[in-house]
């Protein structure tokens, strides 16, 4: 087997592994839990009262991303395909929730 063929085969295996990981509900749930953990740690330290909105942006962005990933993990567990998540729902939390 030539080196080019070996490299091509290796890339194909990596591509398949990435697709499997991306469509694994457990991976979505684990990522959501990581974002949720981060939010839980930084939330109490935020001076929400009397703070400019941009102070809360990292907190809100991570909280919303955690919610999105939890919803996608749930939908994947219930038979929604990764392609449907990408094409129909995207990052729309309202659609994911409905």
The tens digit of pLDDT for each residue in 3-50 reads 666 666 666 656 555 555 567 899 999 999 999 998 888 777 777 677
**Cα(86)–Cα(81) distance, integer angstroms:** 9
Residue 27's contacts (CB-CB under 8 Å, 6 or more residues apart) are 21
Per-residue confidence band for 58, with pLDDT thresholds at 50, 70 and 90: confident
CA dihedral for 19, 20, 21, 27, sign (positive or negative): positive
Q: Report pLDDT for 51.
A: 73
- Is residue 66 within 8 Å of 39, Cβ to Cβ? yes
Side-chain-facing half-sphere of 94: CA atoms under 13 Å? 0
């Amino acid at each position: 087997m030539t080196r080019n063929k070996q490299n091509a085969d290796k890339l194909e295996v990596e591509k398949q592994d990435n697709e499997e990981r991306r469509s694994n509900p457990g991976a979505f749930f684990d990522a959501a839990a990581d974002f949720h953990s981060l939010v839980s740690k930084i939330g109490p330290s935020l001076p929400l009262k009397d703070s400019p909105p941009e102070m809360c942006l990292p907190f809100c962005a991570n909280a919303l991303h955690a919610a999105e990933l939890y919803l996608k993990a749930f939908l994947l567990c219930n038979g929604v395909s990764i392609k449907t998540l990408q094409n129909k729902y995207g990052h729309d939390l309202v659609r994911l929730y409905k």
